[in-house]
Amino acid sequence: MAKQEQKKEREQGAARTQTADRQSPSDRKYRVGIIFSGGPAPAANSVIGACVAALLGHGHECLGFYHGYSNLQDYHPVTGRLLPDKHYRTFDETDLEGYRNRQGIIIGTARSNPGKGIEGLEDLKDSQKTEKLRNVYSALVDLGIDALISIGGDDTLRTANLIVEYQKNLGADHRHVNVIHLPKTIDNDYPGIDFTFGFFTAVDIMAKEALNLRADAQATSAYYIVETMGRKAGWLAYGTAIAGEANMVIGVEDLLCDGLLNKEGYLDVDRLAERMLELIVTREKRYDKDYGTVVLAEGLAERLPPEKMPELSCDDHGHVSLGNVDLSKMLAAEVSARYKKLCGRNKKVTAVQLGYESRCAAPHAFDVMLGSQLGVGGFRAVVEGRDAHMVSTNGQFDITFVPFGEIIAGENLRADVRFVQSGSDFHRLARFLETRVESGYSVGGACTGN
């Protein structure tokens, strides 16, 4: 969007907000529900707190649903109605004191998926497949909700869109609930926004851990293979490697351009292990360094060949727990064995998984500001009467709104993953700062004594 169009959009949005403000609270009071779904992220309470404060400050009501969609999807008008303080809470202004920097999530979260089994728009006409969506909608109507503010990742965005599409099949005589989405993921792989709240905090936490491991590696003449969260894209891995001074980083984006895929399109574990061995030998030969760290994106595990993938259960969104695959441990054992075969001595190579410790960390100031602005954007979207829009920011935290239709496409009704662009300045920065690997070493003369 051009700058003039962005300015016009902001001016029009401000006018709509001012108009809605003049109507509220005497003419129009909104009853708004907030839901947080998926994995935790730093600054979650910044988002919720700012949104609730804006709504209450302008005379609206606000309910927070506990634990994602887990209670909403089990609603029943007779046997399973939602109860205050058990399934949801009604916010008041005393709830918000000091919450902007508080860790955790005031209303909790869960990975429940009321859209499970719905693969396309035709499935929304199937009463069995839409049972849980119907329960969610009925619960919102039962509680008099005018607008639902959804906070979550791409799976939660998909659910928000399904609620919108489900209502289209109900007819004009049914009450309509507007749906607004606020993007959340520490993976930072969301289309329609430059950075998602929690990303910088997560990078900061993991980078500090990586620096600690680097110091340990130097003290013990060892190597650490650090596996960071990042199911699809490598944003966290690259950020951790840059700020954590790693000697090598491999993201999902590197598989094709670095020749790390085999003929069947799976991750070539042998080639990846060989590349790490080249790093160790290069650092010994060229720099007389017998230690270092390597950062891997956990999403690499999704590309493992079937024979190397353990039997693992999936969550309600169909995602395998990549932490249980433990790719870093697999590679650490392989690299250590290859080093001993090549150099005739042992090299300690240890695997460490990072990520969970960052998800509920105290938020970075940037994430507090970003999260707070997204929360205010949720308020603005409600009072402007928007529906099926995602709140975004750009420039100097300017609020923008992206229609669901611009970021959700394809038969599976999912948003595309926003990868780190190969060859972009951010990608090149990581490559510029890592150790340049020297290939073609031989046993004779390649390894030096420690």
pLDDT at residue 96, rounded to an integer: 76
Taken in order 85, 381, 372, 153, the sign of the CA dihedral is positive
Tens of pLDDT along 383-410? 999 999 999 999 999 999 999 999 997 7
By the 8 A CB rule, do 1 and 398 touch? no
Taking the C-alpha atoms of residue 215 and residue 123, their distance in angstroms, rounded to an integer, is 54
What integer is the mean pLDDT of 224-251?
95
Q: E strands, 239-312, where?
A: 248-250, 292-297
Does residue 437 carry a pLDDT above 70?
yes
pLDDT at residue 320, rounded to an integer: 55
Q: Where does the chain hold its CATH 3.40.50.460 domain(s)?
A: 200-360+420-440
Hey, what CATH class is 3-196+363-409 in? Answer: alpha beta
CATH domain 200-360+420-440 topology: Rossmann fold (3.40.50)
pLDDT at residue 155, rounded to an integer: 92
Taking the C-alpha atoms of residue 334 and residue 180, their distance in angstroms, rounded to an integer, is 47
By the 8 A CB rule, do 235 and 189 touch? yes
Say whether the peptide bond before residue 25 is cis (omega within 30 degrees of 0): yes
Tokens 């699809």 locate to 232
pLDDT at residue 39, rounded to an integer: 92
pTM: 0.88
pLDDT at residue 43, rounded to an integer: 97
Tens of pLDDT along 3-36? 555 555 555 555 554 554 444 434 689 999 999 9
Tokens 């940037």 locate to 366
State the pairing for strand pair 88-90/61-65: antiparallel
Q: Where does the chain hold its CATH 3.40.50.450 domain(s)?
A: 3-196+363-409
By the 8 A CB rule, do 71 and 65 touch? yes
Tens of pLDDT along 131-169? 999 999 999 999 999 999 999 999 999 999 999 999 999
